[in-house]
Amino acid sequence: MLSLYVHIPFCRKRCSYCDFYLVAGTLRMEDFFEALRSETASRASLLKGETIGAIHFGGGTPSMASPSLLGSWLEQVASLGSFAPDIEIALEANPEDLTGGVAGELHSVGVNRLSLGVQSFSSEKLASLGRAHSPREAMAATRDAARMFDSVSLDLICGVPGENRDAWQGDLERAKASDAQHVSVYMLSLEPRTLLFRDVAAGRVRVPDDGDQAGFYMQALKELKASGYGHYEVSNFAMPGHHSRYNLASWKREPYIGYGPSAHSFFRTEEGELRTANEASLSRYLSAPQSAEGFREVLGERERFEEQVFLSLRINCGLAIEFLRKGNTLPNEMMKALGTMQERGWITLKNDVLYLTDDGFLFADLIAAELIP
User: Could you say whether residue 22 binds ligand SF4 (CB under 6 A)?
Assistant: yes
Total residues contacting ligand SF4 (rule CB under 6 A)? 11
Q: Least distance from C-beta 20 to ligand SF4, angstroms?
A: 5
Nearer to ligand SF4, 285 or 346 (CB): 285
> What does the alpha-carbon distance between residue 149 and residue 290 come to, in Å, rounded to a whole number?
34
User: Could you say whether residue 16 binds ligand SF4 (CB under 6 A)?
Assistant: no
Segment near ligand SF4 (CB under 6 A), from 9-17, 161-169, 204-212, 362-370?
9-17
User: Could you say whether residue 15 binds ligand SF4 (CB under 6 A)?
Assistant: yes
Q: Is the dihedral of CA 261, 266, 268, 270 positive or negative?
A: positive
Q: CB–CB of 258/5 below 8 Å? A: yes
Name the amino acid, one letter, at 351. N
Q: Least distance from C-beta 64 to ligand SF4, angstroms?
A: 9
Segment near ligand SF4 (CB under 6 A), from 16-24, 208-216, 310-318, 356-364?
16-24
Nearer to ligand SF4, 113 or 133 (CB): 133
Question: Residues 61, 153, 265, 312: which binds ligand SF4 (CB under 6 A)?
Answer: 61
Which parts of 112-171 interact with ligand SF4 (CB under 6 A)? Answer: 117
User: Could you say whether residue 190 binds ligand SF4 (CB under 6 A)?
Assistant: no
Question: Residues 4, 5, 53, 59: which binds ligand SF4 (CB under 6 A)?
Answer: 59
Segment near ligand SF4 (CB under 6 A), from 34-42, 57-65, 276-284, 309-317?
57-65
User: Could you say whether residue 60 binds ligand SF4 (CB under 6 A)?
Assistant: yes
Question: Residues 18, 80, 200, 214: which binds ligand SF4 (CB under 6 A)?
Answer: 18
Q: Least distance from C-beta 262 to ligand SF4, angstroms?
A: 12
Q: Least distance from C-beta 15 to ligand SF4, angstroms?
A: 3
Nearer to ligand SF4, 60 or 260 (CB): 60
Nearer to ligand SF4, 60 or 159 (CB): 60
Three-state DSSP string of the chain: CEEEEEEECEECCCCCCCCCCCEECCCCHHHHHHHHHHHHHHCHHHCCCCEEEEEEEEECCHHHCCHHHHHHHHHHHHHHCEEEEEEEEEEEECHHHCCCCHHHHHHHCCCCEEEEEEECCCHHHHHHHCCCCCHHHHHHHHHHHHHHCCEEEEEEEECCCCCCHHHHHHHHHHHHCCCCCEEEEEECCCCCCCHHHHHHHCCCCCCCCHHHHHHHHHHHHHHHHHCCCEEEECCEEECCCCCCHHHHHHHCCCCEEEECCCCEEEEEECCEEEEEEECCCHHHHHHCHHHCEEEEEECCHHHHHHHHHHHHHHECCCEEHHHHCECCECCHHHHHHHHHHHHCCCEEEECCEEEECHHHHCCHHHHHHHHCC
Which parts of 81-120 interact with ligand SF4 (CB under 6 A)? Answer: 94, 117
Segment near ligand SF4 (CB under 6 A), from 13-21, 76-84, 301-309, 337-345?
13-21
Q: Least distance from C-beta 301 to ligand SF4, angstroms?
A: 35
Summarize as ranges the residues that interact with ligand SF4 (CB under 6 A).
Answer: 11, 14-15, 18, 20, 22, 59-61, 94, 117
